[in-house]
Amino acid sequence: MSTTTTRFLVPPEHPALPGHFPGRPILPGVVLLDAVLQAAGLGQAHLLRAKFTAPVLPGDAVEIALSPRAGGRIGFTCTCRDVTVLSGELACSPAP
């Protein structure tokens, strides 16, 4: 299986934005991780690692790239504005 990509648009009226953070809203990381799980078609997975490297702002379009790996793992990279904003790896099976 090869790398697949999908896009996630952050609407300016997203309900998580007003309180995170007042005056300079950014998308909470948990919302971005949920978008990765949805893109992978997983209701649940074990998060092995995640590195947030830049904020995602209202109105941003995030491209989510998923790469299958050995042992039922999935690597992911999220980019927006030509910058990596999140990368990491999921395990499709339950945590040991």
CATH class of 4-91: alpha beta
State pLDDT tens for residues 53-65: 999 999 999 999 9
- Cis peptide leading into residue 21 (ω within 30°): yes
4, 6, 14, 20: the catalytic one is: 20
State pLDDT tens for residues 38-50: 999 988 899 999 9
φ, ψ for residue 72, nearest 5 deg: 75, 20
As a whole number of angstroms, the distance between CA 82 and CA 70 comes to 28
Q: What pLDDT sits at residue 1?
A: 58
User: Quick one: what percent of the chain has pLDDT higher than 70?
Assistant: 95
Q: What pLDDT sits at residue 94?
A: 55
- Give catalytic status of residue 20 as yes or no: yes
Where are the chain's structural domains? 4-91
Count CA within 13 A, CB hemisphere, residue 55: 11
The pLDDT of residue 11 is above 90: yes
